[in-house]
Structure 1
């Protein structure tokens, strides 16, 4: 353990506290913020919001991008755009951050948990296909769960720590079963699968710019899609559904105050300019970690899965068992190196304990053994 702490200290060139992931502001952040303030357009209307949406869409290869206040709101709106309604069901994975299931719940829908793969830590297409074949039927163009008699409206896989799941295969399965694919790409900006950016395989994708993400505005999120009608509806839903008019206040549906402020967008424009540098640094860090941990038989560094070009947002290691995981966590944190276990499985939380699920052996095994280690760009 001492050798591991010393290596991380040498990597980050400090013996002070080393956080798990902190932002880097080395570009035009202050310049653009000052420009934003001087313009007086600091709320949800402004040139930086428009520029960020245009630049982000171009980067990931989508036709449209709609900026929101955070990743959870982006995912919530994405599910509404997918037609998810009260009493519907949504397929997702148990090994994810709570935001995924919160967004499903905001729609009044229920999650169904599909096991993950050991390699990618994302939804297993094999388990997804097996669940659908054993439990579902397509009737009148919709997928119906024979156990609950409810409609399965959407599927939300998540690209864990920036490592893509087998999203192309999942997309094919969803198409066959008339299920809308909504990608939770909150952690995977800069990650590609088979040379296509994550978040663009489904009908809709959602990203996050929380303070610990690869680029950040303190908060923030974005919805991407190639569907013009959905993009327009996303903007309408995120701006309280206000009908455009010079002075009248007319709103034509129940909607949300989810649009990103221009101040946040100013930060993100500057951060996006540096994304390629951040990615290069993080991949170099991952390579050093991989080489270092190769000397250990009982610690496995989590690498990008086959076919994936990962952003290595959060680096992770896989310990032998839960006991060794806890020892690793205790020693590193006691010695000023911040490490964290992976999330508690969603099906083990009180809110989702009765949710339908597949066999979750892979997710359980990973939850007991995965630890995240410092991953800030150098």
Structure 2
């Protein structure tokens, strides 16, 4: 299992957008040093909170600050773009990052985005399906002619061939409906389960993966659980009390926003009591200790089965230093638990615990013998 970040992002409309964007880059640099494997940047154009309108720009900047972490578009809202233009940018990033870019695509989450540019909200999933048909040939550098009622490709091909062979990894957003799983299954794409811990999203996790595998079998492709990613909101501290204190103010503001923008089935937190208690009790987030984070992931494993990556939702509930500390604690205690990193160390410590009394008596006997030998030789007692 790998671990990463999913950065929508969420920045309070009362704060500096400049600092928010800079900190999005800084946090990726921080988790790169901590050993996280991935970071994904969203695309949004409205609401004021989710301030990244070009994930490609963020990836380009983050790539220059980091050395190993993979960077993804999480996701490009394909109905808002000509697919050739998007693929050209992805392939440019594939070269600029020397193979660290991942291409996540989706229909577009915020209805206000589509409304501003006159795109029928009801058509978004259909448009994504149309694009999926030609995205792999474009990424491979093949020539594509394809016409729909919203874009035309006439013997279109990308300027660059891919750095990554045969092409950068592709993932499709999946929330509650089966559309993401069906699309992923048809083409063998990875899945970004962006609502994995939301009640409705959690309930259909295994079902959507089952649908993806059934559709994949019908189309002669195979789904790879290593490319299944589950997004989880978490804030981790040394104690549950400390975690809740860290997020008290920021979480309340976020809940106000989320209850306005989320689909109807995910709302209902604002004004309903302590938001931390509501989220934790409903299983929608971790606001607690590393052990609580481990328990959440094990709960997801029990529901989903095998999956490849846990993506921590970057929510900015806490102040900057507490946010960084949360990721550090996760890297120190949660990641090693699932990697089995400390298995030999813990076994060695167990051996010590079990054998120390017996070995200590032998060590004492050896020391006594050395003292006795010295006294016999010199006639004097040591010390």
The reply to whether TM is greater than 0.5 is no
Highest Rg: 1 or 2?
2
When normalised by structure 2's length, the TM-score is 0.29
When normalised by structure 1's length, the TM-score is 0.29
Higher helix residue share: 2
Q: Which has the higher contact order (CA 8 A, sep 6+)?
A: 1
